[in-house]
Structure 1
Amino acid sequence: MLLSRPSMTNNNNNNTIKCAAASSSSESSTPVRRSASLDPHLFHSFQNDMLFCDVLSGSQPEHIPSDLPVRLDDTATPSTSPKSSSVVPPLPSRSLGRSLGSSWPDDDEPLPIATVSLTKPELRTWRITSAGLVSTMGAFLDKPKTNKDNDSGMGQGLRYAMASMQGWRVDMEDAHVAELSMGDAIPFSRWSFFAVFDGHAGSVAAEYAASIVVETLLESEKLRQAATLSTTMDGHLCEGALTLLEEGLKAGFLALDDKIRHKLDNVLGKDRSGTTAVCSIVTPSHIILVNLGDSRAVLSRRDVDSFGTEDHKPSNEKERQRIINAGGSVMIQRINGSLAVSRALGDFEYKCNSSLSPARQQVSPEPDVYILPRQTVDEYLIVACDGIYDVMSNDELCSFVHARLEVTKDGALSKVCNEVLDACLQKGSRDNMTLLLVCFEGAPAVHEAKAADEEKAMGVVKAALSEIIDESLNNGDSKEELCVEYVLRTLNSTRPEALPADSHARLLVRSIAEAVVAEKKKAASPPPADGPPSPASPGIPAQ
């Protein structure tokens, strides 16, 4: 195992470190960057485990083990380990430069700290305890899972669709809710509910929250009082009901957190998972947004700026002050150097100060509530987890959705949602992704000319991809050797004119290439042999 000596310069970089382990090494290695150095003695303490330190600047895991020995105030050169007489060996000066063939970076630039070879396709984060390494969360696959789950519906003057994708993560920790009616009686029968829950350190909190959120909110006394004032108004919210509704939603989330605590502690034996939550209640008169954590809801309105909820991050001054007052700290933009969100359901290890109310704990379960009157310029509402917003701003996302709605025929909202996920994957998102798209009557209609241009452009791309693959097969390559990366590189280098001119459509070229490669591989496979099945076939007796 080859390790470099960490630089002792604190670069004040906002990137964060995630540690993972693998059991053995192989022949390849990848340099990585750093912002805070790991204690070199750590590696001597676990000589039988290979540690991989990955600096993620975009889609970071929500949780990093709080007892990971990260040193931010490095000022002295590390010496030998107290448990070993060996010194962490430095790398040759040109072995881990900023790029291939470059020299060692200057002291004031981020430095790579290790290069490790892995044979297993999964990278997991680990909690370092006195008993050894304990797997926690944040695992990654060797290639993303791009199959998608979809849901869609229409009613109450709305059309909605949902898409979710596991992506690079080993585990899918997202959950969602889409209900066109919150209940049978007025006004709830006229209120629609949409929500996304983004779990971390496991999926239990997210899945359980999604399963009980509607019934829990409807149990809130003040929310029911607000509903009573709206009963005679066919679901419209009067001015007096709005304050009650806001208070009722906040109380409902506190009750939801209590139910999750009971579930995790008493039923599942101290499960440590947590989840963010972003919800929307759409009434005939208002759009109510409820946000907890760093998932986000964005409302697009024609010819005006989009409106988005505000993320709850430890770096926010208001959130930071609450964390400190509750006895915590903010390091590397995380609570106690571990949790990347400052409000969430679950995460009860950060809610154990008995002298403080739930809303004043290090991690608060109290959401922000936004109440927006509905307008004729309302186009669509996006409710999504941070796997989307890690790589797209609110305006970028709205621009992409708007462009895809204009070229997507037959009102196929699920197709638009799938394309958002594909585009985010192409832009580098490494997290689970879930997106709900709710279209109002003012949503963009299909632009026939743009749709025709899109169809033509995508036809050119598919034809070019097919030519590249056919040339590869004719040159003696086997279908097993076909890979999307090779096809895309060849497309970019030899047929750049085939790429779509539209920037949004370009983000979808990879997903098109994956489909064409899969189709060509299937076509190149020999047909199944005729005749009776082999005697070795499972479940079929020999003849």
Structure 2
Amino acid sequence: MQGWRVDMEDAHVVEISMSSDPPFKNWSFYAVFDGHAGSKAAHHSAEHLLKTLLATKEFSQKLNETGGVLSSKTLKLLEEGIKSGFLTMDEKMKEKSETGKSGTTAICAIVTPTHIVLANLGDSRAILSRKGKEPFGTEDHKPYLPKERTRIVNAGGSVMIQRVNGSLAVSRAFGDFEYKADPELDPTKQLISPEPDVYTLKRDSEKDEFLLLACDGVYDVMNNDELCEFVQSRLRVTDDLPNVANQVLDACLSKGSRDNMTIILVCFEAAPKVDENCVQQEEAWRKGIMDTITKELTVSIRSRHLE
């Protein structure tokens, strides 16, 4: 959703099958990219990130050799491959000079039959809703966080009004090459780093309800708990997932979000199911609203007629 912004700078990727070749045939890839200073970096990332990951040594050789069985050793390989792919992606983006001054966050999920692997860069976020547990959420990369601030200061920058050099609101991103201009520093030590945080979660078919990936236009007006509760309530009324996602965006817009908004909803076995009582309550609620609107309009029309 473009929202109130002049331009739409977000991009996203949904690949139900990461590759036609095993072991990645049964793996899915989802990603949201929240661009800034233009949409070029976000669209470039959406087009090239998965291909870049699959081309890394860890993915193309070592993980292939394991047959996709994710032991502690192969999970480590997967994490290394993701980090390597992100750094390679940023380097190639810089070499091609196609993205100008734009940059983008990235929140990615690789869903395998046994694990969910999340990679976060910036302040887009992934949330896993789990039955009977607190939702799991990735941590945003904000300049004021101690670890991020230390790197920024060590690179010769500053954090003012909670922004890098008083300007950029995220401390890790693809692109933003004016903040990665010190030739003496490793890419991960620059003012803005392209290194993601990687989280590995073991799937639980009895507790995992759904996975959400969204940009900060959503989280600016809904926290993790509120968002999960809203989605749970909608899933009890409809199993139309695009409809549920659109209802989330409409709710965020009504709550005052003024940013572009993108959300991906992935449901698992334990997701709430449509409940007939909830459907009836929803229908009664909607009918009540429509009756009230009709009544108010009728009164208004009569008043104008009498004038």
Work out which of the residue numbers 5, 16, 33 in structure 2 matches 1:197.
33
Q: Which runs of 5+ in 1 are unaligned?
A: 1-164, 478-543
Once the two structures are superposed, the pairs formed by residues 309-324 of structure 1 within 5 Å of their partners are: 309-324=138-153
State the match for 2:267 in structure 1. 439
Q: How far off its partner does 1:447 sit? A: 1.3
Which whole-Å deviations, capped at 9, do the CAs of 1:339-367 have from their partners, x for residues lacking one? Answer: 00000000000000100110000000000
| Residue number in structure 1 paired with 2:77 | 244
Shift of 1:188: 1.0
Residue 454 of structure 1: aligned partner: 282
1:160-309 map, 5 Å: 165-231=1-67, 235-263=68-96, 265=97, 267=98, 271-309=100-138
Does 1 or 2 have the higher relative contact order (CA < 8 Å, sep 6+)?
2
1:36-55 equivalences under 5 Å are: none
1:107-134 residue CA offsets vs partner (Å, 9 max, x unmatched):
xxxxxxxxxxxxxxxxxxxxxxxxxxxx
Give the 5 Å matches for 1:106-505: 165-231=1-67, 235-263=68-96, 265=97, 267=98, 271-376=100-205, 377-408=207-238, 411-476=239-304
AA aligned opposite 1:249:
I
1:225, distance to aligned residue in structure 2 (A): 3.7
C-alpha contact (below 8 Å) 1:223/1:247 kept by paired residues: no
Identical-residue share of aligned pairs (%): 58
Corresponding letter in the other structure for 1:458: R
Q: Secondary structure at the match of 2:262?
A: strand
Query: What is the CA-CA distance between 1:229 and the residue it aligns to?
Result: 3.9
2:20 is matched by which residue type in structure 1?
D
Q: Distance in 2 between matches of 1:299 and 1:204?
A: 29
1:226–1:245 Cα contact (<8 Å) kept:
no
Q: How many residues align?
A: 304
In proportion to residue count, which structure has more helix?
A: 2
- For 2:119 and 2:210, locate their aligned partners in 1 and report how far apart those are by CA, in whole Å: 17
Cα distance in 2, alignment partners of residues 280 and 291 from structure 1: 9
What CA deviation, in whole Å up to 9, does each residue of 1:38-93 have, x standing for no partner?
xxxxxxxxxxxxxxxxxxxxxxxxxxxxxxxxxxxxxxxxxxxxxxxxxxxxxxxx
CA drift at 1:474: 4.5
Amino acid at match of 1:240: K
Q: Are the counterparts in 2 of residues 236 and 283 from structure 1 also a CA contact under 8 Å?
A: no
Contact 1:202–1:274 (8 Å) recurs in 2: yes
Q: Deviations over 1:214-263 (max 9, x none)?
A: 111101112234422432xxx44122211111011001001111222233
Per the alignment, do residues 226 and 309 of structure 1 end up closer, same or farther by CA in structure 2, a change over 3 Å counting? farther
SS in 1 for 2:2: strand
In 2, the alpha carbon distance for the partners of 1:188 and 1:476 equals: 66
1:381 partner SS: strand
Q: Please report the TM-score for the alignment, with normalisation by the length of structure 2.
A: 0.96
* CA distance in 1: counterparts of 2:8 and 2:190, whole angstroms: 28
Q: How far has the Cα of 1:470 moved from its partner?
A: 3.9
Separation in 1 of the partners of 2:24 and 2:298? 57
Contact kept? 1:203, 1:273, Cα under 8 Å = yes
Whole-angstrom distance in 2 between the partners of 1:262 and 1:472:
64
Cα distance in 1 for partners of 2:115, 2:26 equals 11
**CA offset at residue 473 of structure 1?**
4.2
Tell me, yes or no, if the aligned pair for 1:383 and 1:436 is still in contact at 8 Å: yes
CA distance in 1: counterparts of 2:150 and 2:143, whole angstroms:
9
- Conservation of the 8 A alpha-carbon contact between 1:206 and 1:274: yes
TM-score by length of 1: 0.55
**Alpha-carbon separation, structure 1, partners of 2:154 and 2:203:** 38
Aligned partner letter, 1:316? L
Partner of 1:14: none
Is contact 1:230–1:238 with CA below 8 Å preserved after alignment? no
Displacement of 1:184 = 0.5
Deviations 1:423-453 (A, max 9, x none): 1111111111000000011111111111111
State the distance in 1 between where 2:69 and 2:296 align.
Answer: 58
The residue type paired with residue 352 of structure 1 is A
Which one-letter code corresponds to 2:212 in the other structure? Answer: I
Report the CA distance between 1:213 and its aligned residue. Answer: 1.1
Aligned CA RMSD, in angstroms, stands at 1.4
